[in-house]
Amino acid sequence: MNNELPVNTTTNIQAQVPLRNVVEEMLHTYFTSLDPESPPPNLYDFIIKEVEIPLLKKALVFANGNQSKAASILGISRNTLRRKMAHYKLTQLEAEELET
């Protein structure tokens, strides 16, 4: 399986820095700022939430609000997308408003 992000074939532009490198750098900065004596609980859930919410929003905006298309882009079912939106209390309108 190829883990690379797809290239935008319309404009043939690929990110200068792979997303995983940006994430790794941000995680390094975050971990450096933590107190080693009292690390935060549930760090995994916190990090996933911080990434998943904007990912869901961007996919919805990219799909022009079409949940089926957004789910397809994300590689999840429409029901899973709707469950995640409900979990994060994310409405369609919120996702669209954040982009304007």
- Digit-coded pLDDT (tens) for 83-93: 999 999 998 76
For residue 1, what pLDDT is reported?
46
Whether the predicted pLDDT of 15 surpasses 80: no
Whether the predicted pLDDT of 12 surpasses 50: no
- Which residues are within 8 A (CB) of 73 and not within 5 positions of it... i.e. 6 or more apart? 59, 62, 63
Domain boundaries along the sequence of the chain: 64-100
Number of Cβ within 10 Å of residue 76's Cβ equals: 15
**Of 87 and 16, which is predicted with more confidence?**
87
Whole-prediction pTM value?
Answer: 0.73
For residue 19, what pLDDT is reported?
87
